[in-house]
A and B are shown apart, each in its own frame.
Chain A
Amino acid sequence: MSTVSTTSAADGQLRPLVPPSPVTLRINGQDHTLQLAPWTSLLDALREYAGLTGTKKGCDHGQCGACTVLVDGKRINSCLTLAVLQEGADITTIEGLGSEHALHPLQQAFIDHDAFQCGYCTPGQICSAQGLINEGKAQTEDEIRELMSGNVCRCGAYVGILAAVKEVVDAKR
């Protein structure tokens, strides 16, 4: 095993770096066994180790929603959980929602309603909207606004995002 040492922030003592160990994550219905350190966030595991770069890193502190994925059908911020804590869970990322040839209804609605400009927040917006639909709590525009408030869009495409989500929510009723 690796003999790399590191300085601990707490007391300045040298300690052996914790070696990575195999972690099996179920992502979009497929098992991925990755060599991860305990401190690897789910977001970094997805992007840097599983090669699924659809999920975006905005703030890395739970403040923007760009990293939103679904865990057992519930939307979470993948930047604020550790990959090892999600072993055994069913993870869905934007790559698992639709494909280039068969767009997810939310993806189609985002295109139809011009719900993005740069597109950086979009994967998180769409995963979050899917979580909102799974929850089944929001019906009106105000309710959708409130329950989509965990996703920030720097381009300010909120009007289109709201229209897109509303269309799919209405279609599900």
Chain B
Amino acid sequence: MNPFTLTRAASVDAAVRDFSGHEAAAYIGGGTNLLDLMKENVAHPQHLVGLNKLPLSSIESTTGGGLRLGATATNADTAWHAEVQQRYPLLSQAILAGASPQLRNMATNAGNLMQRTRCYYFYDTATPCNKREPGSGCAAIGGYNRIHAILGTSDSCIATHPSDMCVALAALEAVVQVQGPDGSRQIKFEDFHRLPEDAPERDNTLQAGELITSIDLPAQGFAENFAYLKLRDRQSYAFALVSVAVGLELDGNTIKEARLALGGVAHKPWRDKAAEHLLKGQPATEATFRKAAEAVLKEAKGQGTNDFKIELAKRAIVRALTQAAAGEQKASDVFTNSNP
């Protein structure tokens, strides 16, 4: 790790000011991603602004009937929060499917959104990587790319966003509240993370110095018919090869409202509104689900080692939709993901 200075900010204003007042500053939440990358010499900030004393760790109802998740609330406190478990079990289960109990006790909600890709070449400073070093090339294209993207890739980068939590947040249409040197603004979740295009060094649309203050959930939580399905190389403590978040609103056997987002397949949580549209008004049958699955993967492109992900994703979508329609996963049933 390179030398750096550190201050612990007591207020949001102080944190933003402290960031702006230093060259190459970075915010640090739980540290579980940033310190890992600093130890690997992938990240080398000169100054850290510690956020773990900020008054942003609460989870509160919003006036619109939704729920505000504080930026520095931990992933564990969020997943086990009674309101989240009852009203947004999809989110609770997605969080609990990720990392380990220790890491979830440290990881903050904002940090989870901001975590960087697990692309092995991004971590290996001896190899070219456009995300780590713009213009150096992409070692994953034509290399070993089992964990890489099949949708929305570019010639510069085929990395995936590794978060489970964010896949649920995409399906739930969360809104990210931020404060920066020029004031505060809100960012729709679908506009938060970006595709690599020709600037893979930028994972998201947050501007330098902007601090995430909360993540807001709208009232609709799909607590009756939902599913988070995570497929990985071992049953626990592994990143997703493919994951699917589904929220359905049913009228009898007819789908009134549908949300569908995928993890492990793209540079951002991959929500497909066209596929959701195909589901709406249709009977909740396997034929309907297959049509949606084919639509999501229509433009998918394998990179060699990850070709299997295309068929895997289709089957995962059908299974997750089937589970959601049957109400198989329950709000009270927090361990569904250990036995998919």
A76–B105 touching, CB < 8 Å: yes
Query: How distant is A139 from chain B, measured CB to nearest CB, in Å?
Result: 10
Q: Does A155 contact B (CB under 8 A)?
A: no
CB-CB nearest in chain B for A7: B2
Q: Which residues of B contact A60 (CB under 8 A)?
A: 39
CB-CB nearest in chain A for B97: A146
Q: Digit string of B97-117 for contact with A (CB within 8 Å is 1, else 0)?
A: 001111101100000000000
Cα A119 to Cα B236 in complex, Å, equals 23
Q: Digit string of A1-30 for contact with B (CB within 8 Å is 1, else 0)?
A: 000001011100001011000000000000
Q: Does B3 contact A (CB under 8 A)?
A: yes
Query: How distant is B29 from chain A, measured CB to nearest CB, in Å?
Result: 10
Q: Does A103 contact B (CB under 8 A)?
A: no
B41–A9 touching, CB < 8 Å: yes
Cα A62 to Cα B98 in complex, Å, equals 13
Query: How distant is B224 from chain A, measured CB to nearest CB, in Å?
Result: 23
Query: How distant is B8 from chain A, measured CB to nearest CB, in Å?
Result: 7
Q: Does B63 contact A (CB under 8 A)?
A: no
Q: Which residues of B contact A131 (CB under 8 A)?
A: 101-102, 105
With contacts A8-B46, A39-B3, A85-B8 taken as known, whether A68 is within 8 angstroms of B39 at the C-beta atoms is no
Query: How distant is B56 from chain A, measured CB to nearest CB, in Å?
Result: 15
Q: Digit string of B291-327 for contact with A (CB within 8 Å is 1, else 0)?
A: 0000000000000000000000000000000000000
What number of A-B contacts does a CB cutoff of 8 Å give? 110
Q: Which residues of A contact B103 (CB under 8 A)?
A: 62, 77, 80, 150
A38–B101 touching, CB < 8 Å: no
Number of A residues contacting the other chain (C-beta, 8 Å)? Answer: 38
A38–B100 touching, CB < 8 Å: no
Q: Digit string of B22-42 for contact with A (CB within 8 Å is 1, else 0)?
A: 001000101110011011010
B6–A17 touching, CB < 8 Å: no
Cα A81 to Cα B103 in complex, Å, equals 10
With contacts A60-B39, A85-B52, A150-B237 taken as known, whether A18 is within 8 angstroms of B3 at the C-beta atoms is yes
Cα A80 to Cα B104 in complex, Å, equals 12
With contacts A62-B32, A137-B80, A150-B237 taken as known, whether A132 is within 8 angstroms of B101 at the C-beta atoms is yes
Q: Does A143 contact B (CB under 8 A)?
A: yes
Query: How distant is B176 from chain A, measured CB to nearest CB, in Å?
Result: 24
With contacts A85-B52, A146-B338, A150-B237 taken as known, whether A10 is within 8 angstroms of B2 at the C-beta atoms is yes
B5–A137 touching, CB < 8 Å: no
Cα A7 to Cα B307 in complex, Å, equals 43
With contacts A9-B44, A37-B3, A38-B6 taken as known, whether A80 is within 8 angstroms of B31 at the C-beta atoms is yes
Query: How distant is B333 from chain A, measured CB to nearest CB, in Å?
Result: 11
Query: Which residue of A6, A41, A75, A145 is within 8 Å of B102 (Cβ)?
Result: A75
A77–B3 touching, CB < 8 Å: no
Q: Which residues of A contact B41 (CB under 8 A)?
A: 9
Query: How distant is A133 from chain B, measured CB to nearest CB, in Å?
Result: 12
Cα A18 to Cα B24 in complex, Å, equals 16
Q: Does B48 contact A (CB under 8 A)?
A: yes
A77–B2 touching, CB < 8 Å: no
CB-CB nearest in chain B for A6: B3
Q: Which residues of B contact A65 (CB under 8 A)?
A: 100, 102
Q: Which residues of B contact A9 (CB under 8 A)?
A: 2, 41, 44
B105–A74 touching, CB < 8 Å: yes
- Report A142-166 residues with CB < 8 Å from chain B CB: 142-143, 145-147, 149-151
Q: What would 12 more interface pairs be, CB under 8 Å, given A38-B5, A84-B6, A146-B335?
A: A8-B46, A39-B1, A62-B32, A65-B102, A75-B101, A80-B36, A82-B28, A85-B31, A131-B101, A142-B338, A145-B236, A149-B235
Q: Which residues of A contact B (CB under 8 A)?
A: 6, 8-10, 15, 17-18, 37-39, 41, 60-62, 65, 68, 74-77, 80-82, 84-85, 128, 131-132, 135, 137, 142-143, 145-147, 149-151
Q: Offer 28 A-B interface pairs, CB within 8 angstroms, sorted by A.
A: A8-B2, A8-B44, A9-B2, A9-B41, A9-B44, A10-B24, A17-B3, A37-B3, A61-B36, A62-B36, A62-B100, A76-B105, A77-B106, A80-B32, A80-B35, A80-B106, A81-B30, A81-B31, A82-B48, A85-B8, A85-B28, A131-B101, A131-B105, A135-B80, A137-B80, A142-B335, A146-B236, A150-B100
